[in-house]
Structure 1
Amino acid sequence: MFGALALVITLLFINQGLFSFMGKRHTFFSKKLMNGLYFYHLLFFGVYYVYALVNRSDSHMYFLRPQSISRSWSSFFGTSTTFIDFLSYPFINYLNFNYEMMMVLYAWFGYLGFVFAYLFFRENIPIKIRVFKNFDFLILILFLPNMHFWTASLGKGAPIFLGLMMFAYSITNIKKRFITLIIGSLIIYFIRPHVFLFIAVGTVLGYMTGKEKISFGKKLLIYVVMIGGLMLVQDQILAVAGLEGSDDLVEDFQDFSETRSNKLDNAGSGVNMAAYPLPLKLFTFWFRPLFLDAPGILGLIVSVENLIYLLLFLKILNKKFLKFIKKSPISVKMSLTVFFLSSLAMTFVMSNLGIIMRQKSMVMYFLFFVIYYFLAQKKYDKIMWKRRKIKQQKLKDELVIGN
């Protein structure tokens, strides 16, 4: 554990350098908040570490596999699980990181995801919003326990979350953040190729329908890069479901999703989602477990968080939201598309509440962004309406005095 503690302190100093860099580019950046978030995230590293000692955890296999003496570093290069082994290999075999140190390292990757999420939200939504009367919306979602639990350990969860938030942060200013965008895209693709598909589609749709006036050349560049990228990696994406040689993608995907769902249903804490109508499938993925069907103590804790998700989601179930979406910017439409497509795909293959709790942590921040932007836009419109009324009243008063 001494090595893990030393790494925690080293990463704390590295954070300060990153914060100084980010603070020069964003006047709103709060080092105090981000340092507090770092220690909060480390708390969940500790919780997950204890959890992994007494429960089955994939983190142990992720630590053991790269130590295979019969395989070279390059042999681990690939997509999905093997990429995590590739990423871990030099730290384990060259720097002699032990299991605890690898857990800390990946917890830090997850933490950086929250830093980029903070930048993404604050840069695009400068207006502060309070929900449930007294809670700052951004602070609330940055400190949600389930999000930290599944991004504080050795595995896919932490780096994929980092990649997604790097991408989201970069896409609003591609010219200045091109390197960050590429790194985020590569992380997403190599860990979950199908999620890269949703990101690419969401980005293209966002640029096609966003309210911003964007030059034809810039739009064309985005379309060529994203669509061209998808064409180059389509076989790898289809290979996730074993469909790379399929002649009938729709029918073969249905067979794959049914088989996958049955396997997960038998893995414990299963729900028969295959028999659910689509709205109930989506509800299950987004908001369950909800107390009565919670699998264990962890499920009860997650149920509280799911209730928060549900209450936040209810805030956009009105006619004003549809009008807002039509006029919303690229970042909102991209986030909504990514969230919905990811959710839709996962509902066909998920039927285990334990796995659902982990998987949805990837995409919930995109929903939070849409809700936050909607509430901020409502508040801004209300402020501007009041200002116009005050201005009109002043003009009336001046006319009366003049007469």
Structure 2
Amino acid sequence: MLTDVGIVAAFISLGIAAYAGRRNGGSAIFYIMLAIYHMLFCFIFYNETLYTTSDANYYYDFGAFIGEGPLISASLIIEMATVFREALGATFLDEFFIFQIFGLIGIILILKTMGIVGAGFSERQKLIFPIVAFSPALNFFTVAIGKDAPFLMALGLICRGLSRSGKQYPYVITGLAIAFLVRPHIGILYAVSVIATTFFSARVALGARVIVLVSGAICTLFASMFFLSWMGIEEVNSESLAGTIDKFGTANNAAGSAINLEGLIFPARVAAFLFLPFFFDASSVTAIILSIDNLIILCLFIYCVYNIRLLWSVSARLWTVPFGVIMFTIVTIMLTYTCTNSGLAARQKLMVTPILPILYCVANAASNPRRAPVPKGRLQELVPGATERPRHRAPATLSTFSAGADLFRRRKT
């Protein structure tokens, strides 16, 4: 049942959407429609929980079993759900509307980053914005009580902070902190990606790079030690790490369903993790909807791989690119080993796939550097002098002929 708490959360979402529209210098109608569309999935997911058991039921119902220990991962989500229920009197449906605020902020930050790094869009290419904004899977999984909504917000903060040449470090630090609290092992990989991006950037002074590397390595080391201690791993070796991966895989196998990914060779397992379910194996309406999302992911992935040289050419100026490539690679490899079925993969790949439309926008902007002028802080950061008109060079034969004629006249005189 929806009470005053859920209604207030809904109005907060509408306010955030209207504010985001005004900050972007355009109409707020698009973002308000996005907020309404996003909140509709609260009812859809809530209806699903009435017939099937989900993580949302666990987080809401088992607050008394949180036990002792640090408030990270599932313990943090359970504590948040307990506080909302006991302090605010929120019902199960109310908490969907509270958690969807985090997911909405994450989607808006992804769209904002796409607008900053992208430019020179044709009318057809602008469709990428509503396609991403109204993605069924992205909206469905980020409204429930759980880790997905705050984690998407963390990824959006990191991408937003790395989207300009003048880096906005508070966004990055806040995003890394939230990512570590929600999913410690993925948060550590995000931090490694940020550190590697900073260290290998030619635009950062060598001394600053060394400072970032040392301080980042120390923080990451302590975070890793804390995570290993929290997981109960006393000695780090190949057997303990393999046992941890098997532990994640067993838990994920129990929590998911659909196509089993175990036994596949590594390339096939990566492809299944990213792109399944697809139309040829879709046996339900939900699978068909997920297949549409996976088709979009496949197209974006192919486009980014095809334009990898363009992305590399602007990677020194735009840190979102190296971060996105490094993060996508290492997190996908890890999740491929720990995720054992395509049903769970549909949710877990949201940790990496939101970077693809951002890379698409970067590649599109880099491939059209001579289009009409765009707002300052976008394409000019990628390609200096992008608003200049192209200078047409004469054919080589004509240039050779002119040079020969000039030399002949000088000799004659």
TM-score by length of 2: 0.81
* 1:368 aligned onto 2:370: no
- Hey, what's the Cα distance between the residues in 2 that align with 1:206 and 1:385? 28
- Hey, what's the Cα distance between the residues in 1 that align with 2:363 and 2:158? 21
Matches within 5 A, 1:2-401: 2-3=3-4, 6-12=7-13, 14-15=15-16, 18-19=19-20, 23=23, 27-28=24-25, 30-66=27-63, 68=64, 77-128=70-121, 133=124, 136-172=127-163, 177-210=168-201, 213-239=203-229, 242=231, 244-248=233-237, 250-258=238-246, 260-261=248-249, 264-265=252-253, 269-294=257-282, 296-318=284-306, 320-322=307-309, 324-325=311-312, 327-328=314-315, 329-380=318-369, 387-389=389-391
- Hey, what's the Cα distance between the residues in 2 that align with 1:355 and 1:99? 23
Between stretches 105-114 and 49-58, larger displacement belongs to 49-58
Structure 1: which 5+ runs fail to align? Answer: none
Residue 36 to residue 390, structure 1, CA distance change in 2 (3 Å): farther
Q: Could you report, residue by residue, the CA deviation over 1:7-30 in whole angstroms, capped at 9, with x for unpaired residues? A: 24431464268448x72xxx5465
Task: Please tell me the residue identity of whatever aligns with 2:220.
Answer: L
Superposed displacement of residue 149, structure 1 = 0.4
Residue 155 to residue 295, structure 1, CA distance change in 2 (3 Å): farther
Residue 57 to residue 295, structure 1, CA distance change in 2 (3 Å): farther
Rg: which structure is higher? 2
Residue 134 to residue 334, structure 1, CA distance change in 2 (3 Å): closer
Q: Could you report, residue by residue, the CA deviation over 1:181-221 in whole angstroms, capped at 9, with x for unpaired residues? A: 3332221111111111111111122223346x223454345
- Hey, what's the Cα distance between the residues in 2 that align with 1:134 and 1:163? 27
Structure 2: which 5+ runs fail to align? Answer: 373-385, 403-413
Task: Please tell me the residue identity of whatever aligns with 2:278.
Answer: L
- Hey, what's the Cα distance between the residues in 2 that align with 1:106 and 1:295? 30
Q: What RMSD in Å do the two structures reach over aligned CA positions?
A: 3.2
CA contact (8 A) 1:28 1:122 kept: no
Superposed displacement of residue 365, structure 1 = 0.9
CA contact (8 A) 1:41 1:148 kept: yes
Superposed displacement of residue 147, structure 1 = 0.6
Superposed displacement of residue 175, structure 1 = 7.8
SS, match of residue 348 in structure 1: helix
CA contact (8 A) 1:58 1:155 kept: yes
- Hey, what's the Cα distance between the residues in 1 that align with 2:209 and 2:336? 32
Task: Please tell me the residue identity of whatever aligns with 1:269.
Answer: S
Task: Please tell me the residue identity of whatever aligns with 2:209.
Answer: K
- Hey, what's the Cα distance between the residues in 1 that align with 2:283 and 2:248? 20
Superposed displacement of residue 33, structure 1 = 2.2
Superposed displacement of residue 224, structure 1 = 3.9
Task: Please tell me the residue identity of whatever aligns with 2:79.
Answer: F
- Hey, what's the Cα distance between the residues in 2 that align with 1:310 and 1:16? 29
- Hey, what's the Cα distance between the residues in 1 that align with 2:283 and 2:188? 31
CA contact (8 A) 1:44 1:152 kept: yes
SS, match of residue 139 in structure 1: helix
TM-score by length of 1: 0.83
What fraction of aligned residue pairs are identical, expressed as a percent? 19
Superposed displacement of residue 275, structure 1 = 2.5
Task: Please tell me the residue identity of whatever aligns with 1:215.
Answer: A
- Hey, what's the Cα distance between the residues in 2 that align with 1:112 and 1:268? 27
CA contact (8 A) 2:199 2:210 kept: no
Quick check: which one's helix share is greater?
A: 1
Superposed displacement of residue 108, structure 1 = 1.2
- Hey, what's the Cα distance between the residues in 2 that align with 1:298 and 1:31? 30
Superposed displacement of residue 385, structure 1 = 11
